[in-house]
Structure 1
Amino acid sequence: MHRRDALLLPAALLGGTIGRARAQGSRVAPPPSRFIVPYGAGNITDQVARVLAEAMVPRWGGRMVVDNQPGAGGMLGLLNLTRAPADGSTFAMISVAALAISPHLQKPARYDPFTDLSPICGVSVSSSFLCVNAALPVHSLAELVAYARARPESDPIFYYSPGNATVPHLNLENLRRSLDFPMQHVPYRTSAAGNTDLLANRVQVTIDSFSITLPHMQSGALRPLAYNAPNRHPDFPDVPTFAEAAPGVAMLNAWQALFFPRGTAAPVVEAAARDVIATIDTPAFAAKLPIGTQPFVLGPQELAAYMRADSERLGRLVADIGLQQD
């Protein structure tokens, strides 16, 4: 059974909200009432979805059901969205992995995000640090590259990720290949398990989520070498961005965005995008997001183009690595 939570307002207020919007000509259909989240409760996408659902109540009113449908890295909920009615009643928040990575692993692909979904807008993007165990005698990305090259083949540096074909895995593999230095991948089932071994120096490197690494960077157990964001982090002003430390190497940030099923009328998509962007593009929304996460303000056409660029780039990387679905 799916976990369902509801944000409720009185029916009279719901009717009044929709009635006023229709009278003003600003809404072409009632706002969505069902919100699919293809991940388990507590996942970063689920956390962002609940912040958004609460933030949309003053604008949309009414009853929005947050419907967690975890499974297959987001594929289960995404497939269920494609089968939902294209009437604007159901939308989903989906992360980049299910949109730009998973389709390249499936033979044959079970869905095409470009033809089976109608992009609404971006919502959030997460930043991350390249970190090493503090016992490793390196203090910059350049030093890490040199140190890894100098080690004997029988004694490599290990990096962890929370699983094959995850964003941390592909980021580190992209970095390793772009800068041409050796490291060996150790996939874990969870970030927590990988981070435990990183702290014990059984593995030495990661680019995992901000919330996982931040406490240990603050304690000094982990040393940050580069930041995956456009600007330096104010808490770590001496740590360069990847654009500074590795010019020309395109790193991936984990992002989340909203989608309707394919065939949803353009005016419905555009109305939802306007409402959501007006909500997320505010300091109040940003302040409630999980740590290391910022608003990701893209309209429908911008989101589609961004998704295609990430998909093409990551598809090439998946093919080069030779990854297949587990």
Structure 2
Amino acid sequence: MQRRDLLLLSAASALPGVARAQGDPLRQVKLIVPYGAGNITDQVARVFAEELPRRWGGRPVIDNQPGAGGVVGVVNLVRAPADGTTLGIVSVAAMAIVPHTTRPLRYDPLTDLTPIAGISVSSAFLAVHSSLPVHTLAELAAYCRARPADSPVFYYSPGNATVPHLNLETIRRALDFPMQHVPYRTSAAGNTDLLANRVQVTMDSFSITLPHMQSGVLRPIAFNGTARHPEFPEIPTFAEAMPGVRLLNAWSGLFGPRGLPAPIVERASRDVLEIQATPAFVEKLPIGVQPFVFGPAEFAAQIRADNERLGRLVAEIGLTPD
């Protein structure tokens, strides 16, 4: 065989490797985040993206697309090509709450996306202003029942149909006590009124309530985690305080458009699981946030269960679609 033929054969044998390197869709991923910069899901996405270059060969481009509670970004993810070049990190609200409160929605959360893996989950404390003479859920329920009808206990959330709102409604209904919801446009505004005792109760995110629980202005009552929190080991979990009552933890996950090829799903899911086991990833997550370890099938089942359960709750509360 002549030298020219050997060179051609050598070049041809190298082509598949070159094609794989140049044509790997995960090398140039656009990562849609359907929320604004600084949102907790955005923070998680940026920590996650830091761990990807060594696995995917390139750093994803994070594309913040806020609007309509995540609808704008999710719709664009649904419309993206199903080739692995566009993925998204989406929260539970856009998958299991907004579908029951927004019309027209323009996407089906159960069929228009490919669940790849859970990414993160956050838990929260039910906290009360320290002036309230209550230290347990039972005492809170009894106190609220004893209040005059024209002077109820108020709880705040960062808006109707948010995770804190639906969780507090679940608690209130399970224990059958009155408490008046006050929705705010932001957590900061609600927290200001809580500290001033204009509202008395919340279940807002851990990062919002932690400093004020540490200072004693707020008093934790129960924790929505799988185990007691090391910061407040004396405070029971809801599983201990309210056995059988299921609350919602705010999760985020990695998704692709419908029809994403199985090899891409399997590879990306495997990489997510490896990243979640990395101490650097866990340590960089926002306060109160932990890995949400779910593979594709488990994650899809979780989405279906949350969507069905929260749909019933939204209907019971009477939250009509916009």
1:295 aligns with 2:291: yes
SS of 2:31's partner is: strand
**For residues 277-303 of structure 1, what are the alpha-carbon distances to aligned partners after superposition, in whole Å with 9 as ceiling and x for unaligned?**
111122221111000000001001000
Matches of residues 252-267 of structure 1 in structure 2 within 5 Å? 252-267=248-263
1:309 aligns with 2:322: no
Who is 2:92 aligned against?
96
Q: Is 1:34–1:89's contact at 8 Å kept on the other side of the alignment?
A: yes
Q: CA deviation at 1:21?
A: 11
Structure 1 residues 137 and 60 mapped into 2: Cα distance closer, same or farther (>3 Å)? Answer: same
From 227, 231, 244, give the equivalent of 1:235: 231
TM-score by length of 2: 0.92
Who is 1:132 aligned against?
128
SS of 2:52's partner is: helix
**For residues 20-40 of structure 1, what are the alpha-carbon distances to aligned partners after superposition, in whole Å with 9 as ceiling and x for unaligned?**
9959xxx97544510000000
Q: Is 2:71–2:105's contact at 8 Å kept on the other side of the alignment?
A: no
From 201, 206, 230, give the equivalent of 2:197: 201
Who is 1:78 aligned against?
74
Distance 1:90 1:152 in 2: 55
Who is 2:12 aligned against?
none
What amino acid is the match of 2:281?
Answer: F
1:51 aligns with 2:47: yes
What amino acid is the match of 2:91?
Answer: S
Who is 2:145 aligned against?
149
**For residues 61-95 of structure 1, what are the alpha-carbon distances to aligned partners after superposition, in whole Å with 9 as ceiling and x for unaligned?**
22410000011111100000011110010000000
Distance 1:325 1:159 in 2: 23
Q: CA deviation at 1:111?
A: 1.2
Work out the percentage of aligned pairs sharing the same amino acid.
Answer: 70
SS of 1:249's partner is: coil
**For residues 197-245 of structure 1, what are the alpha-carbon distances to aligned partners after superposition, in whole Å with 9 as ceiling and x for unaligned?**
0000000000000000000000000000000000000010000000011
Query: Radius of gyration: which is bigger?
Result: 2
TM-score by length of 1: 0.91
Q: Is 2:52–2:60's contact at 8 Å kept on the other side of the alignment?
A: no
Distance 2:56 2:261 in 1: 19
From 56, 62, 67, give the equivalent of 1:60: 56
What amino acid is the match of 1:80?
Answer: N
Q: Is 1:226–1:242's contact at 8 Å kept on the other side of the alignment?
A: yes
1:225 aligns with 2:221: yes
**Which structure 1 segments of 5+ residues have no match?**
1-17
Q: Is 2:157–2:187's contact at 8 Å kept on the other side of the alignment?
A: yes
Who is 1:174 aligned against?
170
Range moving further from structure 2, 69-78 or 272-281: 272-281
Q: CA deviation at 1:19?
A: 4.7
Q: CA deviation at 1:152?
A: 1.1
Q: How many residues align structurally?
A: 307
What amino acid is the match of 2:121?
Answer: V
Structure 1 residues 69 and 45 mapped into 2: Cα distance closer, same or farther (>3 Å)? Answer: same
Structure 1 residues 271 and 114 mapped into 2: Cα distance closer, same or farther (>3 Å)? Answer: same
Distance 2:135 2:26 in 1: 54
Q: Is 1:32–1:88's contact at 8 Å kept on the other side of the alignment?
A: no
Range moving further from structure 2, 68-77 or 280-289: 280-289
Q: Is 1:82–1:117's contact at 8 Å kept on the other side of the alignment?
A: yes
Matches of residues 113-132 of structure 1 in structure 2 within 5 Å? 113-132=109-128
Structure 1 residues 94 and 201 mapped into 2: Cα distance closer, same or farther (>3 Å)? Answer: same
1:42 aligns with 2:38: yes
